[in-house]
Amino acid sequence: MARAGKSLGRAAEDAASDHLVARGFLILGRNVRIGPLELDIVARDGALVALVEVRARREGALVGALASITPEKRRRLLRAAAGFLASPPVDLAGVTRVRIDVCIVHVSREGVKVEHLAGALTAD
């Protein structure tokens, strides 16, 4: 069962990356480690860097993808973002904005659909 989850997660990150690239983003990294924390995707669009959390759910899942971002997960994402900014593992020359986005990947019989929520998480 864990294997199916890993496969879904990897496929969801692939779909989210493809979606972002199709919209003009350059993928700077995937599964970027910030100490014990991880950012699923780091993407750049001009002067903007998006730290992207990818959430996937199959059709009929009991808990929606966005609802699966618990308060603890939100805190971990914000800590990862702070760590990223404190010691960036990629060149941020020319970057004037950083935000945390969420890509929700819906998997159904009809296929895969990616929903990109720009600025979905804030420090507030």
pLDDT value for 5: 54
Helix (H, G, I), strand (E, B) or coil at 20: helix
pLDDT at 101 over 60: yes
Q: Which helix (H) or strand (E) holds 24?
A: none
Rounded to an integer, what distance in angstroms lies between the CA atom of residue 7 and that of residue 19? Answer: 18
Contact at 8 Å (CB) between 37 and 76? yes
- pLDDT given for residue 111 in this prediction: 87
- For the ranges 12-16, 48-52, 59-63, 77-81, the lowest mean pLDDT is seen at 59-63
DSSP count for the chain of H helices, then E strands: 2, 5
Amino acid at 65: A
Q: Is the pLDDT of residue 96 over 50?
A: yes
| The CATH classification of domain 2-121, taken from the options 3.40.1350.10, 3.30.2350.10, 3.30.930.10, 1.10.10.10 | 3.40.1350.10
Rounded Cα gap, residues 101 and 110, in angstroms = 25
